[in-house]
């Protein structure tokens, strides 16, 4: 398939139309013939193409046209392109039946190609009228079923698969065949299917991406394309892109360097952007090689067979990409960095954070969702954030990102300097507790967390020395919250907060069962990957999932609807507060610090509204004036997966042989109505 959301044909057409309108004003034309064009979808049964009725109207032209052809074209140009956008291209605001615009050829998707177009295919849900209008008779069985019945059938089939990777492949196959049904299925069954299209299953899919690869779902930009990245971006058929998720595949989840096969992560993330937030998306993999020897020796590996580029070669390729994105899509496209290694992730965010609309989900998204969980947990453990001590296992992108956002919130709540707020937070890396005596050997992003303390080598000793109330794992190292560590947390705290965030499930610091059992049922537990409910001493415990999918779709939507030009830390705090506010007392009574995923679309709308409001407050919004009700506005901008009634505009093509056409008012209205859906 060509895109994850929307019609590539329609959007391609718009960009082509705009260019054609501009070009038409630059040609001097003497006494051009005028033609009336109209679309008749209900044409004769034998006509395989849409009927275009052409009528010579030279007499009418002489009577009504201005004396200068070029002047009339210039006048129409100014009317039709004021402000840009679909409405202006067609001149709908001031259109009359005699409004002249650049010539078109209009074709309608029909027949067998329609069934192979994932944007428009409805399968057995095509109505009787649609089957007649689009030459589908005989190409489908006679039964007509609803989209809801299709969803029921697909879920029945999905549950027959016992292997998660088989479910993943079935979902990807559906996405390539019927895009709206894919999103309808995902939205209606998000709690069951989220672990299929994203963590933990997507991790295995990335590991085996080469062997299961069938059809590209994003852009692959490698060192071969250096110097031509803008050209490569223009090859993507969808022109109206709002969000780009890009990875270089060096640190995929907790699985390490998967090179080009990391594409599964942007594809999965953008499926959630479209389903949960309603954005037009583009997945991108920057292939600079891989240091994974197993992949380099794998005959099915789909990426460059070379060691990773570093230094200037790497920086130049990324800079060309960032420049080309801004040039091709404008400054309001959101670029989400995904699964870059620590040494590149922080540098890219710092370098482009002031010039582009960029966001690192591993640093900022994880931080926002964890902070929301901590805010909600205060209803169970009491106190404020400033009253608690935090100990992290892991001092990479996620760990330091979470720590920084917690410190920002404490500073905001207590009006103390950020440096003072950081003293509540301690980090442990592979060499032990981060303390001031290690300052010289620390990476720059770890140095703010080097506090005065004697050296401590192990996590267990750090727990005993610091006595934290909150233990957070972001190490990517599985089973590091041992029985002794959890028991120590339970010894110091009546209700220890334990967050095992590493993905996938195999890399989680501990399981839900271990956390509840070793703490004697007293832990407030959440994890990065989902765990089944646990029974302990006759009580069932349902653990929450600190999944970034709570945050990034709503954050992205909020940035889009406000036209934000930069991502500010206060927007992340606003997103956290909005998510925490969605945790009900009923959820808290079950020990949950996150709301159910079943309500994720409503949650995303609430987050989008808070983020957009903050953008307006900070003066970073460009879509003016501010809507009165941002929640309703966000909901109205979300993607709807429901089937549309069929008028499938397949393509709009400029016809250069004739200098000027007149298209009927009815056709313009029909095309506009279709494009606005």
**Largest CA-CA distance found in the chain, in angstroms, rounded:** 95
Among 572, 68, 561, residue whose Cα is nearest residue 361: 572
Place of tokens 């989902």: 530
What is the 3-state secondary structure of 332-401? CCEEEECCCCHHHHHHHHHHHCCCCCEEEHHHHHHHHHHHHHHHHHHHHHCCCHHHCCEEEECCCHHHHH
Rounded CA-CA distance 450/428 in Å is 10
Q: Are 238 and 6 spatial neighbours (Cβ–Cβ below 8 Å)?
A: yes
Rounded CA-CA distance 424/403 in Å is 10
Three-state secondary structure call for residue 491: helix
* Count of CB atoms situated within 10 Å of the CB of 314: 17
DSSP letter at 626 equals P
User: Does 287 show up as a binding residue in the annotation?
Assistant: no
* Count of CB atoms situated within 10 Å of the CB of 657: 5
User: Does 338 show up as a binding residue in the annotation?
Assistant: yes
User: Does 645 show up as a binding residue in the annotation?
Assistant: no
Which residues is 473 bridged to in the sheet? 393, 500
- Residue 635, H or E segment: helix 630-637
* Torsion sign over Cα 148, 150, 153, 158: negative
User: Does 547 show up as a binding residue in the annotation?
Assistant: yes
Q: Are 338 and 372 spatial neighbours (Cβ–Cβ below 8 Å)?
A: no
Place of tokens 């909600």: 376
What is the 3-state secondary structure of 42-70? CCCCCCCCCEECCEECHHHHHHHCCCCHH
**Cα distances (angstroms) measured from residue 125 to each of 92, 131, 179, 291:** 32, 10, 13, 48
User: Does 362 show up as a binding residue in the annotation?
Assistant: yes
- Residue 630, H or E segment: helix 630-637
* Gyration radius (Cα) of the chain, Å: 28
What is the 3-state secondary structure of 277-321? HCCCEEEEEEECCCCCHHHHCCCCCCCCCCCCCCHHHHHHHHHHH
Rounded CA-CA distance 74/66 in Å is 11
**Cα distances (angstroms) measured from residue 416 to each of 366, 387, 408, 466:** 24, 13, 10, 22
Q: Are 37 and 666 spatial neighbours (Cβ–Cβ below 8 Å)?
A: no
Q: Are 373 and 526 spatial neighbours (Cβ–Cβ below 8 Å)?
A: yes
User: Does 347 show up as a binding residue in the annotation?
Assistant: no
Q: Are 99 and 77 spatial neighbours (Cβ–Cβ below 8 Å)?
A: no
Q: Is 234 among the residues known to form the active site?
A: no
Q: Are 109 and 120 spatial neighbours (Cβ–Cβ below 8 Å)?
A: yes
Q: Is 676 among the residues known to form the active site?
A: no
Of 269, 424, 446, 614, the active-site residue reads: 269
Backbone angles phi, psi at 336, to 5 degrees: -105, 115
Of 90, 120, 198, 329, the active-site residue reads: 198
Cα of 137 vs its chain's centroid, Å: 38
Which residues is 104 bridged to in the sheet? 654
Instruction: Enumerate the known binding-site residues for a divalent metal cation.
Output: 338-339, 362
Catalytic residues: 198, 269
Instruction: Enumerate the known binding-site residues for (S)-malate.
Output: 251, 503, 547
Instruction: Enumerate the known binding-site residues.
Output: 251, 338-339, 362, 503, 547
């Amino acid at each position: 398939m060509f895109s994850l959301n929307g019609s590539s044909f329609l959007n391609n057409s718009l960009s082509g139309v705009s260019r054609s309108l501009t070009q038409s004003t630059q040609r001097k034309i003497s006494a051009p013939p005028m033609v009336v064009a109209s679309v008749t979808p209900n044409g004769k049964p034998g006509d395989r193409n849409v009927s275009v009725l052409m009528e010579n109207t030279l007499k009418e032209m002489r009577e009504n046209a201005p004396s200068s052809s070029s002047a009339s074209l210039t006048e129409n140009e100014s009317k039709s392109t004021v402000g840009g956008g679909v409405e202006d291209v067609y001149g709908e605001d001031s259109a009359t039946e005699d409004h002249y615009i650049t010539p078109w050829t209009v074709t309608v998707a029909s027949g067998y190609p329609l069934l192979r177009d994932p944007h428009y295919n409805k399968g057995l849900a095509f109505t009787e009228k649609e089957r007649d209008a689009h030459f589908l008779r005989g190409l489908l069985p006679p039964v007509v079923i609803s989209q809801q019945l299709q969803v029921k059938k697909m879920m029945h089939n999905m549950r027959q698969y016992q292997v998660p990777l088989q479910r993943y492949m079935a979902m990807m196959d559906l996405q390539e065949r019927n895009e709206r049904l894919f999103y309808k299925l995902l939205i209606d069954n998000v709690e069951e299917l989220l672990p299929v299209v994203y963590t933990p299953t997507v991790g295995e899919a990335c590991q085996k991406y080469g062997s299961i690869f069938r059809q590209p779902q994003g852009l692959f930009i490698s060192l071969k394309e250096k110097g031509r990245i803008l050209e490569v971006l223009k090859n993507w058929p969808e022109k109206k892109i709002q969000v780009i998720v890009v990875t270089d595949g060096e640190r995929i989840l907790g699985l390490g360097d998967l090179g080009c096969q990391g594409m599964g992560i942007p594809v999965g993330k953008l499926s959630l952007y479209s389903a949960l937030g309603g954005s037009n998306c583009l997945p991108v993999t920057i292939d600079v090689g891989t240091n994974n020897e197993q992949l380099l020796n794998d005959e099915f590996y789909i990426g460059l067979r070379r060691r990773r580029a570093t230094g200037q070669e790497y920086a130049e390729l990324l800079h060309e990409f960032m420049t080309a994105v801004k040039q091709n899509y404008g400054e309001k496209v959101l670029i989400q960095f995904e699964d870059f290694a620590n040494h590149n992730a922080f540098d890219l965010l710092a370098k482009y954070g002031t010039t582009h609309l960029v966001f690192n989900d591993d640093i900022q998204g994880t931080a926002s969702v964890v902070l929301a969980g901590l805010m909600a947990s205060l209803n169970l453990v009491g106190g404020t954030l400033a009253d608690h001590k935090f100990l992290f296992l892991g001092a990479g992108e996620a760990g330091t990102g979470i720590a920084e956002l917690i410190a920002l919130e404490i500073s905001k709540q207590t009006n103390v300097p950020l440096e003072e707020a950081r003293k509540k937070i301690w980090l442990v890396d592979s060499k032990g507790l981060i303390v001031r005596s290690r300052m010289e050997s620390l990476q720059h992003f770890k140095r703010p967390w080097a506090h005065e303390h004697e050296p401590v080598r192990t996590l267990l000793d750090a727990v005993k020395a610091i006595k934290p109330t909150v233990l957070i794992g972001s190490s990517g190292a599985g089973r590091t919250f041992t029985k002794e560590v959890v028991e120590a947390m339970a010894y110091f705290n009546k209700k220890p907060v334990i967050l095992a965030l590493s993905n996938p499930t195999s890399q989680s610091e501990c399981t839900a069962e271990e956390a509840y059992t070793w703490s004697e049922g007293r832990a407030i537990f959440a994890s990065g990957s989902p765990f089944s409910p646990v029974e302990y001493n006759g009580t069932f415990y349902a653990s929450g999932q600190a999944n970034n999918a709570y945050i990034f779709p709503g954050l992205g939507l909020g940035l889009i609807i406000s036209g934000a030009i930069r991502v500010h830390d206060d927007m992340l705090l606003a997103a956290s507060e909005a998510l925490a506010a969605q945790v009900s007392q009923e959820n808290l009574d079950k020990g949950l610090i996150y709301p159910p995923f079943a309500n994720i679309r409503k949650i995303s709308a609430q987050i989008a509204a808070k983020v957009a409001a903050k953008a307006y407050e900070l003066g970073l919004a460009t879509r003016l004036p501010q809507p009165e009700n941002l929640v309703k506005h966000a909901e109205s901008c979300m993607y709807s997966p429901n089937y549309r009634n069929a008028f499938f505009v397949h393509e709009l093509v400029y016809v250069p042989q004739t200098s000027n056409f007149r298209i009927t008012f009815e056709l313009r209205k029909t095309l506009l109505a279709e494009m606005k859906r």
